[in-house]
Each structure stands twice: as C-alpha cells, then as structure tokens.
Amino acid sequence: MTATTVQPTTLPTTATARERKVVPPIGMGRIVGVELRKMFDTRAGFWMLMSIAILSVLATGAAILFAPDADIDFELFASAIGVPMSVILPMIAILSVTGEYTQRTGLTTYTMIPRRGRTIAGKGIAAVLVGVVSMFVALGIGALGNLLGSAIVGVPTDWNISVTEFSQIVLAQVLGMTIGFMLGVLLRSSAAAIVTYFVYSLVLPGLLMLLAGVQSWFADIQPWVDFNMASTRLFDQTMTGEYWAQLGTSGLIWLVAPLAVGLALVMRSEVK
C-alpha cells in the first residue's frame, strides 16, 4: 500500500493578500472649490453674498437721487458702494470659518483633511477670492450708475478713479475682510467674532483718537499702531513710503500676530 503525501496549501498572509491603496492628498484647488461652494450652501451665506449686489444697487440709486448734481462722478458711486461692502465682506469671512463650529461640521471636515492648516488656508483663499470678485461686481454696478446718473442730471461723465486708486480700494476691502477672517480663526464663534469686529471697527478707533488727544506720546506712535487709520488711507490718500510702512507695522500687531495665535489654537483645539 503506497502512502500519498499531501503538500500543505500555502495561504496568503493578510499583508500580501491586501495591498494598501495609496490615496493621493486632496489638492488645494479642490479644497478652495469646496469652501467656495460651502459659502453658498447655507441660506445665511447665500443671502450674505446676494446682499453685496443688492446693496450696491441700492447705494447707487441713493447716490443718484440724493447727491448734488455737481458731485455726480465715479468716486461718489465707489464711496457709496464701499460703505456696505466694508461691513458685509468681513461678515462673510467670519462665517466661512466659524460655520465649521456653529454647524458642527468641523469633525467631518478635519477628518477628510487631517492637516487643518490646509483647510484654513483654503478658507482664506476662498474668502479673498470672494472679496476681490465682489469688488469688481461693485465696480461694474458703480460704472453703470455713473453713466446713468450723469445722463439723468445732464453732466459730463467723470471717471475720476485711476487703476491705482481702485487697486488701493480693493486692497483696503480685502484687509478688512482679512480682519474678519482672523477673528473667526481666533474666536471660532460667529456671535463673538461679529461683536468683536464691530468693537474693533467702530469703538476702538474712537478710543485711540481720544487717547491720542490727551497723551502726546501716543499721538506720535498712533499711526504705527492703529491699523484702522493706516488702512483707511488706502481709500482717500496717495500712499507714501511712510504710510506703507505704518500699514505693515500696524498690520503685524492687529492682523498677523492674532492670526498666528488663532492658527495655533485651531491646530491644538478639540473638534466636537
């Protein structure tokens, strides 16, 4: 009787049976696209963006109706539109960050993209893009208002804003939007960030002016530490080398340093 030898079957190990699938990281372009879409997804975000066009039209109409005929020019419409824009754009930047925490979507977002810095960078790029595009939309509405207003009152059409001046206005609006973005990163609460922004933009300038009026030493350094004063010059003055230096110095104090603290807190904080 012949014995039959059975060779044992070699079973594949788990490591060789299943190959780990390498998933490429999500690109920054896709992150920015998602963040832009998220700005429109909620009703608050949608109407906040729509209000830019609506208020631009209303401001243009008010300028035509109530401004003296001699003042009808492109600068008038740019100034009229710039006032509501300076309020709305920072609110959009704040909500773009705090929405992750107020709507409790941060856990999903930071799970899909574990490197939180890339997500915050995507939100910042998306906010700046919205601000720049909004300013060009406002420019178009203001240009139509200038043509219509000059035709109604019968005065020559005056295009008294140069490309450089418009670029400074766009930069001023983007800086204001960046302040809102910084507060959103630092506080991560919509209500707290919005209240803090209005205190910063409406209350703090008056306090600093009062302090400069009673303390001569502070009057000398105020242009170097007052970011509101430095950025406001972008709207109505020719920027000199000293003005640019004051804008950069005050920006380090009120924008860069708090943003760095906020980013550090975002990286370390627990997301629920």
Two tokens at 71?
A: 């003042």
Q: In this structure, how many other beta carbons lie within 10 angstroms of the beta carbon of residue 205?
A: 15
In 3D, which of 165, 159, 142 has the Cα closest to residue 234?
165
pLDDT at 185: 93
CA 225 to chain centre: 22
Quote the CA–CA distance of 247 and 254 in Å, as a whole number. Answer: 10
**Domain residue ranges in the chain:** 27-267
One digit per residue, the tens of pLDDT, for the chain of length 272 reads 455 555 555 555 555 445 666 667 778 888 888 888 888 777 777 787 788 888 888 888 888 888 887 788 888 888 888 888 888 889 988 988 888 877 777 777 777 787 888 889 999 999 899 888 888 888 888 888 888 888 888 888 888 788 888 888 889 889 999 999 999 999 988 899 999 999 999 899 999 999 998 988 899 999 999 999 999 888 876 788 899 999 999 999 999 999 999 999 988 877 76
Token reading at 92: 């959009």
Q: What is the pTM (predicted TM-score) of this model?
A: 0.84
